[in-house]
């Protein structure tokens, strides 16, 4: 009987492989699993009450309240509406930052779920719905869960955790600063100085339970393109009396597409030039004086980046001139390339494989989407990976992409997200008790 009691008492240790780091991993997994229902509740609350960039007031209040209840030091009002939590472990070690973005998008939701967003606002002079159409609601819930798990193990942590809840990842309102760049400017990676940063992004086209990653350049640099074409206004019935900026703009748009298809060696790196908005005219029988176009540029290579900018300017100005019009080109650099630190990625990928199963952690191609997580990675080694949010068995072609009204996520990966970020934190701390070198992970 005594032997049987001893065996039963040993089961928790056997389940987690004994003491030390493996026991901590087991505890993390158990605590994360216990949060499953609350993770869903948090996510649905944020989804139903979305807020645009630099206006995430209620979102920030909920996050700050949660962190304070956990006994975490909290700083609010960072980069307007950002929240930063600091958790000091019971043992010395490196400082690990974890980041979640908290803003929503000007998208009107079409998905029929009980927690559907019905929020309406005005954006760029137009009435629009507001929706978490990129999954930032899940990112908030996951990082709140990580904060709860790690704070409950505070005394066992060999280092410090900095929780960064960042506003305006999708871009600040016109005329304002915001996002990761402003957080970095305001010292979010200092006091204490961060040694490494981890972040994740839910992906509606990766199956639940799976993780995607890529060392090196992972997401594109993004620039905002503005072109103003100036013609000569006239009556629509007498086009020969003016200079038509609409026809000229159409020719410019078509010519811009030859940059990627005819000027770039796409075997080296992908690139995208897209015009997403065009405005000109006020009436069907008036040829307007000017047309404004706005678009996006995506590149992964610095030489390609410079070349694309030059070609856009050359094409727009020369095509306009050939029509007797004039074109003004303005390009605003928004985010640099998201580059996963190679040594850090190689050193930590085993943790993700341990959490999700080696068969569920896949090397992926670079994405032409962009992320201002790149600004943190310019300062400290960082790893940014992708968490599956597509229902199991669904065809990728049928899964609505991000930033669309039909965007939908399966919540089955919320616990995996908490486990992943928590385990990356504790494993990194364990491997780097002696500190880090810039751009290189030192193992114990």
Query: Which sequence positions are flagged as catalytic?
Result: 335, 411
Give dist(CA 425, CA 312) in Å, integer. Answer: 43
- Closest by Cα among 345, 421, 365 to 138: 421
85 contacts 73 by C-beta, under 8 angstroms: yes
Secondary element (H or E) of residue 365? none
Give dist(CA 74, CA 83) in Å, integer. Answer: 7
Three-state DSSP state, 269 = coil
293 contacts 222 by C-beta, under 8 angstroms: no
Task: Say which DSSP state 149 is in.
Answer: H
- Closest by Cα among 188, 162, 145, 203 to 385: 203
Looking at 39-117, which runs of residues are DSSP E strands? Answer: 73-78, 82-88, 91-101
Give dist(CA 46, CA 100) in Å, integer. Answer: 13
Report DSSP letters for 120-137, one per residue. EEEETTEEEE-B-TTSHH
Give dist(CA 18, CA 10) in Å, integer. Answer: 9
Give dist(CA 90, CA 82) in Å, integer. Answer: 26
Secondary element (H or E) of residue 253? helix 245-258
47 contacts 115 by C-beta, under 8 angstroms: yes
Looking at 137-220, which runs of residues are DSSP E strands? Answer: 158-166, 196-207, 211-213, 216-219
Strand order in the sheet with 196-207: 73-78, 82-88, 158-166, 91-101, 196-207, 382-390, 211-213, 361-363
Query: Residue 100 is encoded by which pair of tokens?
Result: 């979640």
């Amino acid at each position: 009987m005594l032997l049987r009691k001893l065996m039963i008492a040993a089961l928790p240790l056997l389940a987690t492989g004994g003491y030390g780091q493996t026991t901590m991993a087991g505890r993390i997994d158990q605590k994360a699993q216990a949060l499953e229902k609350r993770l869903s509740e948090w996510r649905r609350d944020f989804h139903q009450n979305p807020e645009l960039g630099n206006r995430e007031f209620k979102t920030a209040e909920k996050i700050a309240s949660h962190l304070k209840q956990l006994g975490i030091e909290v700083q609010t009002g960072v980069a307007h509406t950002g929240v930063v939590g600091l958790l000091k472990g019971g043992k010395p070690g490196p400082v690990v930052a974890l980041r979640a973005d908290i803003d929503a998008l000007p998208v009107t939701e079409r998905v029929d779920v009980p927690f559907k967003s019905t929020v309406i606002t005005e954006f760029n002079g137009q009435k629009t719905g507001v929706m978490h159409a990129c999954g930032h609601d899940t990112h908030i819930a996951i990082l709140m869960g990580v904060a709860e798990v790690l704070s409950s193990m505070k005394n066992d942590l060999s280092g410090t955790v900095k929780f960064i809840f960042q506003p305006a990842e999708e871009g600040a309102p016109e005329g304002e600063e915001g996002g990761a760049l402003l957080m970095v400017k305001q010292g979010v990676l200092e006091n204490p100085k961060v040694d490494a940063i981890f972040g994740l992004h839910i992906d509606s086209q990766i199956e639940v339970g799976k993780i995607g990653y890529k060392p090196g350049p992972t997401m594109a640099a993004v620039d905002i393109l503005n072109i103003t074409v100036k013609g000569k206004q006239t009556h629509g019935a007498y086009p020969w009396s003016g200079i038509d900026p609409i026809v000229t703009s159409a020719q410019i748009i078509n010519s811009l597409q030859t940059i990627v298809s005819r000027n770039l060696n796409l075997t080296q790196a992908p690139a995208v030039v897209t015009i997403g908005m065009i405005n000109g005219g006020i009436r069907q029988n008036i040829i307007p004086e000017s047309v404004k176009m706005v678009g996006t540029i995506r590149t992964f290579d610095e030489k390609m980046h410079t070349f694309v900018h030059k070609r856009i300017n050359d094409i727009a100005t020369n095509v306009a001139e050939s029509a007797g019009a004039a074109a003004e080109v303005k390009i605003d650099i928004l985010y640099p390339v998201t580059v996963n630190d190679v040594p850090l990625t190689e050193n930590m990928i085993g943790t993700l494989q341990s959490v999700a199963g080696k068969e569920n952690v896949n090397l992926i191609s670079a994405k032409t989407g962009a992320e201002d997580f790149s600004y943190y990675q310019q300062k400290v080694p960082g790893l940014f990976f992708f968490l599956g949010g597509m229902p199991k068995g669904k065809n990728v072609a049928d899964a609505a992409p991000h930033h669309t009204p039909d965007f939908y996520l399966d919540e089955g990966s919320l616990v995996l997200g908490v486990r992943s970020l928590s385990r990356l934190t504790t494993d990194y701390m364990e491997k780097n008790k002696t500190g880090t070198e810039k751009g290189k992970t030192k193992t114990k």
